[in-house]
Amino acid sequence: MSGSFIDMRSDTATRPSTAMRNAMAQAEVGDDMNGEDPTVNRLEARVAELLGKEAAVFACSGTQSNQMGVRVHCQPGDELLIDHTGHIANYEQGGPAALSGVTCRLLPGTNGILDVPVLEDRIQPDNQHYCITRLVCLENTTNVGGGRVYPQETMERVCDWAHDHKLKVHLDGARLFNAVMASGRTVREICAKIDTVSICFSKGLGCPMGSVLVGSQAEITKARRIRKLFGGALRQAGIVAAAAEYALEHNIDRLQDDHANARLFANRIREIEGIVVDADAVETNLVFFEVDPRLGSAAQLSARLIEKGVKINSTGKKRLRACTHLDVSRESALRAAEAIAEVVEEGFGSAIPGKSGPYSR
């Protein structure tokens, strides 16, 4: 819950628990820019070991660590390949271009997932007229693609193809541990062939902020310089690194509850006439659904739900996204579904029309 609301706009709505706050208050700290914060150092070493990589660097946000990853692999004038729904290309304020001078080539994947047939013949020719293709960016779980888990065989096939063509692979793992719990694979298995991985702690893991970029020692050494360039210089960051440590200990296994609540919510709302949702496609904690335009717009439904104490953002004229997390209980998920049924029954087409709600990561 956020205040008196059931907040299903994003899993970024989570608030640190009392136990997490205590861990933060008791954290041993130092100057991270000088490599002297023991809590940050311990977290970075732990995450690198967890993923089977050489090194890691703590960052302020998932957007920052993603853009650090782009800059590690690319130079101004280069190009990256990404699914057309990818967060790096669409929801990071043009970061690749603005921060690194990198072009994003948007490709038509399926549910946010790219495979080799879509990537083939997309590498620019070695010709002075073209930019140089350097990087493939993947997302696991997919966001706008529907909270889908990347099939491991597909991911490994893409990595092998990229490396055969001298390209690097960066993974936006904002919800990577959701993929771990849904697939039954370890995070090390999932990331084995990925070059750099960004993991966000402020979503399903329930931290107030923080992300980490993981890769080879050379890549992370370069990323530290880029973090400074991007305004991410951290000092006594152990306070927030301690929250991430707590989350790794206590908040991974419970992601299964979020997945179960998302499926419960989807199964309930698909019984509502005028609401369209593929409940069988819900794999993790994201539920995308559509409203029959004869009833009203997605923005109107979203506005009326606020009156019922439920926050769910519209993401288009007909489409909405609901996100379950540690502050959304089973009872809250059921109540949110009930609120949608009530609004549909009462009618909402006369609500004040507006544009789609703000996008939530």
Average pLDDT rounded to a whole number, residues 206-224: 98
232 shares its domain with 258? no
Residues 286 and 240 in one domain: no
In-domain check, residue 360: no
Examine the fold and report which residue of 250, 275, 310 is the final residue of a domain before the chain moves on.
250
SS3 54: coil
Instruction: Return the SS3 of 167.
Output: coil
Taking only the tens place, the pLDDT of each residue in 75-101 is 999 999 999 999 999 999 999 999 999
pLDDT digits (tens, 9 = 90+) for 42-75: 999 999 999 999 999 999 999 999 999 999 999 9
Residues 182 and 153 in one domain: yes
Say which amino acid occupies 67.
Q
Q: Are residues 293 and 241 in the same domain?
A: no
Are both 196 and 342 inside the same structural domain?
no
Is the domain of 103 the same as that of 165?
yes
> What's residue 359's pLDDT?
38
Mean pLDDT of 260-272: 98
Domain that residue 293 falls in? 254-346
CATH of the domain at 235: 3.40.640.10
Residues 227 and 259 in one domain: no
Name which of 50, 51, 87 is nearest 70 in CA terms. Answer: 87
pLDDT at 348 over 70: yes
User: Is residue 57 within 8 Å of residue 67, measured between CB atoms?
Assistant: no
Looking at 250, 265, 280, which one is the last position of a domain? Answer: 250
* Mean pLDDT of all residues in 262-270: 98
Burial (Cβ within 10 Å: 0-12, 13-18, ≥19) of residue 170: buried
Handedness of CA 125, 130, 134, 140 (dihedral sign): negative
Contact 23, 202 (CB under 8 A): no
pLDDT category of residue 358 using cuts at 50, 70 and 90: very low
DSSP characters over 118-143: HHTT-SPPSSTTSPEEEEEEEESS-T
> Domain containing 295 — which CATH number?
3.90.1150.10
Do residues 84 and 113 touch, judged by C-beta distance below 8 A? no
Any domain includes 356: no
Q: List, for residues 143-200, the tens digit of each pLDDT value.
A: 999 999 999 999 999 999 999 999 999 999 999 999 999 999 999 999 999 999 999 9
- Answer yes or no: do 222 and 258 share one domain: no
Q: pLDDT band for position 290 (50/70/90)?
A: very high
CB 26, CB 162: distance < 8 Å:
no
